[in-house]
Structure 1
């Protein structure tokens, strides 16, 4: 396993919650949006548990195309249980691409960075936080950094 994949797995292991409430989703979403504003970036943020959406915000500069990216990235996390960046990079490390080798419809799944699993210790993955509007790596950074800051790490 290459260094990036190892780092991404460690990040998933370290960024887990003891519990995750609707209020936590609100705080996380607002934290990510605030961070994007500080850095002068325009992103869309979507947070959900596996039952329903908890937070959605589209900043200036985003559009209806971001709906596609939110849905296709979060579907990857739900299907594989790992961040969408990890999944895409895993295929690349095997000498192929997500699109070529996953066997999943590009209309519903994209192995691009930006969706991160919300994991509650002892329960497993209970939802997703998804960011779109920038490069996959930048989207992933905002999602993971938001969780890191909310957890105080």
Structure 2
């Protein structure tokens, strides 16, 4: 194995310890690839219901203490709290959802990009932590040729796991749409 092909140890956005060189950039690259991959041909209210129910199914199967939200503008299209979710999850859902909607990229990507030159975006004086949370779990729903039309958000797990659960469900819904064509 050459140095260029050696695997990079994963970056942990929740860790305060020093992390392997290149791991932050690798995770940013992975999430940017997910954004490019997860472009929907359309996204209707029925699609949001299917996505929300899929996330509920995955959460219940795995006994995850999560809250799930799908929002388009000011309209909540789907919202549920599973067993173990707390009122704090509601705050995190709104803050992560606002972040993904404002920047039109996954909330985790906002936080990771803020770390590229050291520090955190939360440390910038202009970043309002009472309104926004650059933590994983909210992903814009992109329609090809249109852009971000809504957001899907999960809260209740460590931020990377929230993000990965959303991506898993988005991939499954997108595959089902492609098969139905």
- RMSD value over aligned CA atoms? 1.4
The alpha carbon displacement at 1:37 in A equals 1.6
Asked whether the equivalents of residues 98 and 110 of structure 1 are also in contact (C-alpha less than 8 Å), the reply is no
Aligned to 1:87: 110
In structure 2, distance between residues paired with 1:107 and 1:88: 15
Higher relative contact order (CA 8 A, sep 6+): 1
| SS of residue in 2 equivalent to 1:116 | strand
Counterpart of 1:65 in structure 2 is 88
Alpha-carbon distance between aligned partners in 2 of 1:78 and 1:100, rounded to the nearest angstrom: 21
Structure 1 ranges of 4+ moved more than 4 A: none
The alignment of Structure 1 onto Structure 2 pairs a total of residues equal to: 153
Query: Are 1:42 and 1:59, in contact at CA under 8 Å, matched by a contact in 2?
Result: yes
Matches within 5 A, 1:104-143: 104-143=127-166
Query: Residue 5 of structure 1 corresponds to which residue in structure 2?
Result: 28
Please say if 1:16 is aligned against 2:47: no
TM-score (normalizing by structure 1): 0.95
Give the greater-gyration-radius structure (CA). Answer: 2
Q: 1:51 and 1:122 mapped to 2: Cα distance?
A: 22
Contact 1:29 1:45 in 2 (8 A): yes
The C-alpha deviation readout for 1:51-104, integer Å capped at 9, x for no partner, is 411000100111221111011001111111110111111112221112102722
Structure 1: runs of 5+ lacking an equivalent: none
Normalised to the residue count of structure 2, the TM-score between the two structures is: 0.81
Moved more, 110-119 or 43-52: 43-52
